[in-house]
Structure 1
């Protein structure tokens, strides 16, 4: 059986702010009806998968907690695979803390194995200084992602995890290891979660430097939607390109285009 499944970014792809992008609800719910597997990937470590699921359900998406994979989940699972029952000093919000606890990690204020930086809106410089000194004494510096900024809607942005990590890298002279998109760590985990092979995996995203770069490097089929961060005029600045470019996921409601993306065999094998 020739399967196909989707890894799908969220902000800018299926919603903006608190509103779904036109056609997104129909597209996602249609994947479920067709029996085509999908997993949402987000570089936002603030919320748990349950929090994200609640937001999507309110918008009309028929999804479950298990349909969401965050960079916080990827980070916690990666670190647990490297060091069981480790310790971490963490600058972040609830989503990452929850995942680290679930992975058997203890959150400490002294001599941690890892200093982990995630998303946060109330970060104190005192915490940053503390993290710096821990890194200088040997704690490994980990970033949930390296996004320099995060869109807040209405054309506004806030500094992202990558901006804070860059400050610590500059101060310490030590480079952080990032687990979130475009890292192959998160991409591989997500593919395996759907039990897909490389050629069975399709990534839909709005950001060339994370979604498309990460998925393309893994050999996945890539679909860039212009409904979010990346504009068509930006494409000339990149040395790589997506396999497909669409205005929004609403375009994928067109069966001819959808078949081009997943192939006739995969559509025929889908369970309605």
Structure 2
């Protein structure tokens, strides 16, 4: 049975609007050879169609079915917990559409949940309203708990930083559906149609991508093109199976999957050995 790849996006495929070198070639090879894969992202702002369009404009020729966002995971989870429920939402179009698609209504009037995602249109009025609703009994949901997200040459505040304001004000603890939650990791794998043993998680963040993969029993590949340096790996009690400079090196790890089309990228940085043996996930 073929391996299937769950692939993070920010820091793995691109940073902001800047495509990471070699990413398009690797993903297009997956598409051409019909190797199962799914982009799995903790960014809730855009719909899967918007994400697919962004990638195609970058020269990565994927379809909507290749995208799975934390907004989709959150909406499906809430629909399974309370069908036809209601929510007050801090976020953007991707989160709102996912909730509507799964039977949820958006309201400020005694909602079942306050759902916090990412966005650049967040203001204090929304945060104040969310705080009041949670204080009145609405359950607090976060699409993810990332403190920050990588952008070109810097970072920006993530959903985790935003939701902590509401947690501090109310004393409530948000339930997160995004990576490393097993909810999202399992839903994405099922969408891809691959079993646990043959699933590989490729990401740039130890406490979301790699932790989620290790806890689920997936093979894990950490790329150093995003938010984690090789020195930081030793700060964690768990380890990835492989560490590579960028996704451009992925075919060198799985030559039997990429067949004979693989050609090693020019001027690639040699992979370094970790100080301790890598975890072998069975």
**Does the 8 A contact of 2:11 with 2:150 survive in 1?**
no
- The SS at the match of 2:149 is strand
Contact 2:44 2:69 survives alignment (8 Å)? yes
Report the Cα offset of residue 160 of structure 1: 1.3
Residue 139 of structure 1 aligns with which residue?
138
Deviations 1:49-81 (CA, angstroms, capped at 9, x unpaired): 111111100111110011000000000011011
Structure 1 position 258 matched with structure 2 position 254: yes
Q: Superposition RMSD on alpha carbons, in Å?
A: 1.3
Q: Which residue of 2 aligns with 1:38?
A: 37
Q: 2:222 aligns with which of 211, 221, 224?
A: 224
Q: Could you report, residue by residue, the CA deviation over 1:207-265 in whole angstroms, capped at 9, with x for unpaired residues?
A: 001000011110000000011111101011000000011011111233xx224xxxx4x
Post-superposition Cα deviations, 1:23-49, rounded to whole Å, max 9, x if no partner, equal 111111111122210000110100011
- In the TM superposition, what is the alpha-carbon distance from 1:124 to its structure 2 partner? 1.7
- The correspondence of residues 60-139 of structure 1 with structure 2, limited to 5 A, is 60-139=59-138
Deviations 1:77-105 (A, max 9, x none): 11011111100001111110011111111
Please say which of residues 50-59 and 19-28 is displaced more in the overlay.
19-28
Tell me the distance in 2 between the aligned counterparts of 1:238 and 1:57: 35
- Aligned pairs (5 A) from 1:10-29: 10-29=9-28
Unaligned runs of 5+ in 2: 260-282
Q: 1:200 maps to which residue?
A: 198
Q: Relative to structure 1, is the Cα distance of residues 96 and 160 closer, same or farther in structure 2, using a 3 angstrom cutoff?
A: same
Which deviates the most, 123-132 or 222-231?
A: 123-132
- Partner Cα separation in structure 1 for residue 130 and residue 88 of structure 2: 7
Determine the C-alpha separation between the residues in 2 that align with 1:113 and 1:246.
43
2-structure distance, mates of 1:19, 1:128: 31
Q: Which residue of 2 aligns with 1:165?
A: 163
Alpha-carbon distance, 1:267 to partner: 6.2
Alpha-carbon distance in 2 for matches of 1:237, 1:43: 23
Greater relative CO, 1 or 2 (CA 8 Å, sep 6+): 1
TM-score, structure 1 as length reference: 0.92
Give the CA deviation at 1:152: 2.6
Output the TM-score relative to the length of structure 2: 0.89
2:53 corresponds to: 54
Unaligned runs of 5+ in 1: none
